[in-house]
Amino acid sequence: MPDTVIFDKPYGRVLVDAGVPCVSTQWLSFANAPDFIALQEAALLYYEAHATPARPWGFVGDVRHMGAIPAKAQAWLIAEFNPRATAAGLREVSVVVADNVFGQLATQHYAQQTAAARDRYELHAIYYTSVEEAKAGARASAARG
């Protein structure tokens, strides 16, 4: 089943694969803070509306072509996105590793900040080299609930 696009901008898109089931963010280039937050917010709203304890969903972050994450967006991820995502049942994000050093550093920084916030929520990033592997990981994560 092909992915359904629910958000599409030049810097990225949000995709849904109900067969896995998972929501995916696919970064195509650098996004400024408001654009970054808008894309992540669209993905999170869909996740919150569709994931349930009886039918958990996975979450894939395809950051292969992502640039740096602006500081304001990094702060929003830690203070807003992560707590809401974990409240909706997310425990694991399947990340397709960035091709460029800016995306790699941004992803590492996010993972470090998320780990440092373990007293507020428990969320783990698991890294994959392809979208197919990440979706398989998201499927396994959703199956574990």
DSSP state of 107: H
121 or 73: whose pLDDT is higher?
73
Residue 119: band (very low, low, confident or very high) from pLDDT cuts 50, 70, 90:
confident
Query: pLDDT-based confidence at 117, cuts 50/70/90?
Result: confident
Bridge partners for 126 per DSSP: 94
What does each C-alpha distance from 25 to 12, 36, 107 come to in angstroms? 7, 10, 13
CATH class of segment(s) 4-144: alpha beta
Neighbouring CB atoms inside 10 A of 5's CB total 11
